[in-house]
């Protein structure tokens, strides 16, 4: 039910589109991709990533269960898309139909998957002997260190360390040979996995596993996180209450899942916030879960000019602050809540 009709379109974020272009350009060269190759993306969304391979002449296939989004990928970007959930069975069907992948991408999807073993087994089945699986996922290390508690919400079933991912992939005959620590989404892992024995395991993997061994199984590490979240709640709620007592008007930018976690867990609602704005036209006109705040076009910040705007999509802060320069020039201020409360 959740993923057959979905409200998140990756192309609404310029940051995500450019991030995708960089890795597509890089792998096209590094893997010597050409018109005989195949790049598959699991949870391909609206084609924000595969479009760059397609423009380079590399054949692509998207797997996107959300029918409304798959339709956009096909009709607007010309991305061949299978609108199904990926796993063992679909991978076997694709192979039987003559499809084998040189590159498999899976960005920000493993956290949503209830059958992790089925999906990773599907990677193994679909991947050519010399192919590579490239996975991006929010990093547990950053979640804890930077108090990113709002990453914890209903759609996310797992929060990954490299230690956990390594065990998961090895279970299915795949080996993580390289890992990168990215800043996107408040801190993410990008892993490169191949058939076991295909390439030597890189130093980056061994180094990060050694670092994680210091905290990944430490209960006090997570208890400290709990205390930091409570401190953050007190700080943000106190600031907003003070602003309201001064008759300041406050809006929210970002009708995101993480935003819903923050508002509901912190008890911030219509008595404090006037409305929400979001760039996604799919979300405009709807209401935020639990808090029931109406979602508007960001242009409302200019016409209405609230005193403050609580930025719940803080993971795209640089992009959004630049887009809203007019609002800021007119005196508007953004409150960025994570990893600590600050005003920009």
* pLDDT tens readout for residues 79-119: 999 999 999 999 999 999 999 999 999 999 999 999 999 99
Determine the pLDDT at residue 122: 98
The mean pLDDT of the chain is 93
Which residues make Cβ contacts (< 8 Å) with residue 209, sequence separation at least 6?
A: 162, 163, 166
Determine the pLDDT at residue 69: 84
- CB of 38 closer than 8 Å to CB of 104: no
* pLDDT tens readout for residues 124-181: 999 999 999 999 999 999 999 999 999 998 889 999 999 999 999 999 999 999 999 9
Omega of the bond leading into 339 within 30 degrees of 0 (cis): yes
pLDDT over 70 (residue 8): no
97 Ramachandran zone, left/alpha/beta (phi>0; psi -120 to 50)? alpha
* pLDDT tens readout for residues 187-230: 999 999 999 998 999 999 999 999 999 999 999 999 999 999 99
Nearest Cα to Cα of residue 222 among 140, 158, 150, 164: 140
- CB of 140 closer than 8 Å to CB of 162: no
Reported pTM: 0.85
* pLDDT tens readout for residues 281-318: 889 999 999 999 999 999 999 999 999 999 999 988 98
List the domains of the chain with CATH numbers: 10-219 (3.40.50.150), 221-343 (3.40.50.720)
């Amino acid at each position: 039910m959740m993923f057959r009709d979905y409200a998140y379109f990756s192309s609404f974020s310029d940051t995500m589109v450019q991030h995708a272009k960089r890795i597509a350009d890089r792998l096209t060269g590094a893997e010597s991709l050409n018109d005989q190759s195949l790049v598959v993306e699991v949870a391909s969304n609206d084609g924000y990533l595969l479009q760059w391979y397609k423009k380079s002449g590399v054949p692509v296939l998207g797997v996107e269960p959300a029918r409304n989004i798959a339709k956009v990928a096909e009709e607007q970007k010309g991305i061949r898309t299978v609108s199904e959930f990926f796993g063992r069975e679909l991978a076997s069907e694709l192979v039987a139909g003559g499809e084998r992948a040189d590159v498999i991408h899976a960005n920000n999807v493993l956290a949503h998957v209830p059958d992790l073993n089925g999906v990773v087994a599907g990677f193994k089945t679909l991947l050519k002997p010399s192919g590579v699986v490239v996975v991006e996922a929010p990093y547990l290390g950053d979640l804890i260190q930077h108090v990113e508690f709002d990453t914890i919400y209903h759609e996310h079933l797992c929060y990954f360390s490299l230690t956990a991912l390594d065990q998961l992939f090895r279970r299915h005959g795949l080996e993580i040979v390289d890992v990168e620590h990215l800043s996107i989404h408040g801190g993410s892992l990008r892993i490169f996995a191949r058939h076991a024995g295909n390439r030597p395991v890189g130093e980056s993997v061994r180094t990060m596993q050694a670092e994680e061994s210091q905290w990944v199984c430490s209960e006090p590490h997570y208890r400290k996180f709990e205390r930091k979240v409570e401190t953050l709640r007190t700080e943000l709620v106190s600031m907003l209450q003070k602003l309201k007592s001064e008759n300041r008007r406050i809006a929210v930018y970002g009708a995101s899942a993480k935003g819903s976690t923050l508002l509901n867990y912190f008890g911030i609602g219509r008595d404090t916030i006037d409305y929400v704005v979001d760039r996604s036209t799919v979300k405009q006109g709807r209401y935020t879960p639990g808090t029931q705040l109406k979602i508007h076009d960001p242009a409302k910040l200019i016409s209405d000019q609230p005193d403050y705007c609580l930025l719940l999509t803080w993971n795209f802060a640089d992009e959004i602050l630049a887009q809203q320069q007019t609002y800021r020039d007119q005196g508007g201020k953004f409150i960025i809540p994570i990893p600590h409360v600050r005003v920009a």
